[in-house]
Structure 1
């Protein structure tokens, strides 16, 4: 991650309108007061009403971030020098020495990884073999073109097919003609590369045997008559400037790097940092490739030293202050600020001091409006529309018990900036979509859901605002089944759904889970039907329902 990585302003999981609109508004505010790149983000699906607001405001949906844990993509260095499979061992080795590399990725034309050769592995490939096979230590898999390139030599004779990689056998003809003939006769002549100096008799022997290639060292050139025979017999001749010993080594190094098998450990771009650290700690591999999991292409590389100081995603948390409600991986991110209007709880801890603003107002969008006013700034019309929606949604149009005079003042100011008729805006907003009508029961419950842990109890509270309760009664049984499945899937002790009729200022509560909680609710509220309670005047999860349930389970023995 570069030094200019963006700061993400992000709300809680299962975001409601306030979480989305406060993120959009505060990101806009921060872009005006600091030089960093600031991006509004969300970590869940946006509901129908919020989408209506975004369309009205002409604002793009926040960037979806489901996990901000450091990953292979964040750790890997992107400016990677690579080698092509056709590059010779010699050229790759020289590149590694020039840049002080211990390893280098070999990629094909589509940038897909073929290998990760190291200097040590390349050296081992050229150590003498212990095999007693007669061709041992003579085998070279390369092309004649690669040989000529490695030698810096001139190809003459028959130069057709010289780009094809072949299994060749190297024979140095330094002995007499007869000894050289007997040695060469052990092998298939069309695989032979005969290496010699200014020895016309050996040159003639090569023509006689019909070898694949004759390499003449010392910069010497065979006689014209022999070159004519070479063309007629399909023999390639290479004139090399080196002595025979040096030329022999260079030919071995002309092998294409892509022909060698390389065992290596690689990681997907989404592999979490913790998994990377665990996997590489005992590995002797000097460099680890990171592969894009969608394209299969090489995305970057990292070494163990890159894991010492890992870049972390920079976050501003809005409308929540608990890791249990934050985007996955927030506990491994760099928290810059927290902007919220809920109680302090949970396990939010930071490594550095942060700006923490928590105001007892009806919405986080209200706090964003306050921030603009305190700086003498005015949000643009689109941002003001979003903030109006966030404030109206969380305060149920200033009717919730969480509403303060500050909320009323900020809404009046924002409505003027947005140029909207507040009364008509409220009517249109709440009519924009019924979550119970448009979503499956499971998705409806997840739309605005928060998890709390109190006195050893793990509790989920979902809330849906509707224009009437008709849709709830139609889907009561299905919603209860979905709540039971939620308890099972998330190991919850108790889960409930509060459906608020915003026209009647009245809610019903559907419950599932530990029956001791249900029995305790029986004492305080009328059970309208199995697992459903009437809660007249209860419209706020934050200020009414949660404190009630918190106090209730506090009196019960932990499960």
Structure 2
């Protein structure tokens, strides 16, 4: 089985983050032996959804944690069994798959009970009940299979056996005293004994030793209503095996069953296992259908999830549970953050306008031409992150790479940009929470906790009715989540500047960093387009000056 590697961008993903995840996953799948899966850490913006729809690509899987889950373990994926199967069959399945417990399900694959080795052995270790076939409602199919028997005559398609189990190993006159109507009787080839059994109204006669049964006896059985089967085993073996024909539903545990879901975290199930003593625990999927069983052994052999980060390298922006994963690579174009590893990894960081510029370069450096769809994603992300080269983060590398990609996609970047920005920058129908969080990142600036959101628009005046509500939302968020500073950049692509909205106890830092005067916690900053290059560096410098 191939190793699974996940590629993910940052939380509250923008187009560059999503497109980078998808594109780099395709590259890794082309050059490696592992199965590489792109992920997303939140819902898509309108712009990103437009890009994926335009190129006919499905959105990545939403997986917001790298914490190990039950689904990541190599647990026993043994098919569950039906309650009607015999103890013998259950034992055979356990031996074949080297497991000690089986899950029992109903016709809808929902958990009904569990049966373990101890349940099977208790049938022998406890005082034997010779009416167990009646009590357990054992089917003839189970008896035939368990005794390797063949049917001679069945009184009805599904006969019942209400009596006890008797071995007729004595003279007919003596055996008759022990046989009652409805009993199951094991006998040999003596015809006088067979006649006596039938006349005693036994429900089933088991002829041991694979002996033939005369036509006369069969006719008697038809009249009396006694079923007859023939087994190759001797009387002793048949009597020993027949108890294994009872259905597992008779011995299974059906109440207070402790089970785990595939989405449960391993850390959580460890605690449960420490407090209980079961050999194995059923595992169910999201539909509550049984998919296997997990035991303590599987926790010992657990493997960490493998992950590659793109378009970020700060822990606060990254997938939850990153500390529990094996970090393999980072591809980014931002400042160096605070993610640390205990071993060397491949880390590529370039001062370009888009992570997808780097990923496209990786394709070309390895002599690989991206598919038309992936080239389209890479192009769209470069256009988005550089604001069609209006952003100061734009480099000649971005321009050159986009030109090469445009030749593959056969699209005009300017025309595509107009369509994309028109769809992506519309704020119509969005709440202030949706607007603020659609491209929002958290930063650790010295000892200050800051959050910076950036929203691009082609109609900055259309935001005016939301200003008051947005500031109320930001002030509440700053207070509830202990932010020193929250900043929203409403970036006007056409005018080439941003309207700033600020909240938090350290909001005066914005005035110093950008040389603007805040009026009602808002100000316009001409030429300010890049969060990465024009927002974080000035704020960091001001904070450092104040700390000196």
The verdict on a shared fold, with TM-score over 0.5 as the criterion, is: yes
Partner of residue 146 from structure 2, selected from 131, 147, 150: 150
Provide the rounded CA distance (Å) in 1 between the counterparts of 2:91 and 2:494. 76
User: 1:279 aligned to 2:275?
Assistant: no
Provide the rounded CA distance (Å) in 1 between the counterparts of 2:143 and 2:477. 67
> 2:532 — aligned with what?
542
> 1:266 — aligned with what?
259
CA drift at 1:147 = 1.9
Classify the secondary structure of the residue corresponding to 1:316: strand
> 1:257 — aligned with what?
248
Number of corresponding residues: 543
Render the CA deviation track for 1:239-281: whole Å, top value 9, x for unaligned: 4443333222211111122443236543212122222333334
- Give matches, 1:199-278, under 5 Å: 203-219=194-210, 227-262=218-253, 265-278=258-271
CA drift at 1:114 = 4.1
CA drift at 1:182 = 5.8
User: 1:517 aligned to 2:512?
Assistant: no
Render the CA deviation track for 1:157-211: whole Å, top value 9, x for unaligned: 54314366x66532345567787566556xxx33x32344456665455444423
- Can you give the 5+ residue segments of structure 1 that lack an aligned partner in the other structure? none
> 2:9 — aligned with what?
11
- Is the CA contact 1:464–1:498 (under 8 Å) kept in the aligned structure 2? yes
Distance 1:225 1:280, change over 3 A: same
- Give matches, 1:369-380, under 5 Å: 369-380=360-371
- Is the CA contact 2:379–2:405 (under 8 Å) kept in the aligned structure 1? yes
TM-score by length of 1: 0.84
Provide the rounded CA distance (Å) in 1 between the counterparts of 2:262 and 2:114. 17
Provide the rounded CA distance (Å) in 2 between the counterparts of 1:327 and 1:494. 22
CA drift at 1:465 = 0.7
CA drift at 1:376 = 4.8
Provide the rounded CA distance (Å) in 2 between the counterparts of 1:359 and 1:152. 73
Distance 1:126 1:487, change over 3 A: farther
CA drift at 1:364 = 1.2
- Is the CA contact 2:487–2:500 (under 8 Å) kept in the aligned structure 1? yes
Partner of residue 452 from structure 2, selected from 427, 446, 461: 461
> 1:297 — aligned with what?
289
CA drift at 1:447 = 0.8
Provide the rounded CA distance (Å) in 2 between the counterparts of 1:32 and 1:152. 54
Render the CA deviation track for 1:457-478: whole Å, top value 9, x for unaligned: 4332111011131222121233
- Is the CA contact 2:454–2:531 (under 8 Å) kept in the aligned structure 1? yes
Distance 1:17 1:140, change over 3 A: closer
Distance 1:201 1:128, change over 3 A: farther
CA drift at 1:30 = 3.5
Partner of residue 43 from structure 1, selected from 41, 44, 67: 41
> 2:166 — aligned with what?
171
Partner of residue 506 from structure 1, selected from 487, 494, 497: 497
- Is the CA contact 1:76–1:300 (under 8 Å) kept in the aligned structure 2? no
> 2:73 — aligned with what?
75
Partner of residue 528 from structure 1, selected from 519, 524, 528: 519
CA drift at 1:450 = 0.8
> 1:162 — aligned with what?
158
Distance 1:154 1:479, change over 3 A: same
> 2:123 — aligned with what?
125
- Is the CA contact 2:146–2:241 (under 8 Å) kept in the aligned structure 1? yes
Provide the rounded CA distance (Å) in 2 between the counterparts of 1:179 and 1:59. 82
CA drift at 1:551 = 5.1
> 1:339 — aligned with what?
331
CA drift at 1:511 = 2.9
- Is the CA contact 1:76–1:290 (under 8 Å) kept in the aligned structure 2? no
Distance 1:35 1:208, change over 3 A: closer
CA drift at 1:43 = 2.3
Provide the rounded CA distance (Å) in 1 between the counterparts of 2:502 and 2:303. 43
TM-score by length of 2: 0.85
CA drift at 1:151 = 1.9
CA drift at 1:354 = 1.6
CA drift at 1:332 = 2.8
User: 1:478 aligned to 2:459?
Assistant: no
Provide the rounded CA distance (Å) in 1 between the counterparts of 2:374 and 2:211. 80
Provide the rounded CA distance (Å) in 1 between the counterparts of 2:58 and 2:216. 78
> Quick check: 27-36 or 66-75, which moved more?
27-36
- Is the CA contact 2:40–2:60 (under 8 Å) kept in the aligned structure 1? yes
- Can you give the 5+ residue segments of structure 2 that lack an aligned partner in the other structure? none
Provide the rounded CA distance (Å) in 2 between the counterparts of 1:135 and 1:301. 33
- Give matches, 1:482-501, under 5 Å: 482-484=473-475, 486-487=477-478, 490=481, 492-501=483-492
- Is the CA contact 1:14–1:448 (under 8 Å) kept in the aligned structure 2? yes
Root-mean-square deviation (CA, aligned residues, Å) is 3.5
Distance 1:249 1:430, change over 3 A: same
Partner of residue 323 from structure 1, selected from 315, 318, 322: 315
Distance 1:486 1:411, change over 3 A: same
CA drift at 1:88 = 1.6
Render the CA deviation track for 1:282-320: whole Å, top value 9, x for unaligned: 5543344322213x3332334433323324443221101
Partner of residue 444 from structure 1, selected from 414, 421, 435: 435
CA drift at 1:552 = 5.5
- Is the CA contact 1:26–1:368 (under 8 Å) kept in the aligned structure 2? yes
Partner of residue 193 from structure 1, selected from 178, 181, 184: 184
- Is the CA contact 2:197–2:205 (under 8 Å) kept in the aligned structure 1? yes
Classify the secondary structure of the residue corresponding to 1:320: coil
CA drift at 1:331 = 3.1
> 2:101 — aligned with what?
103
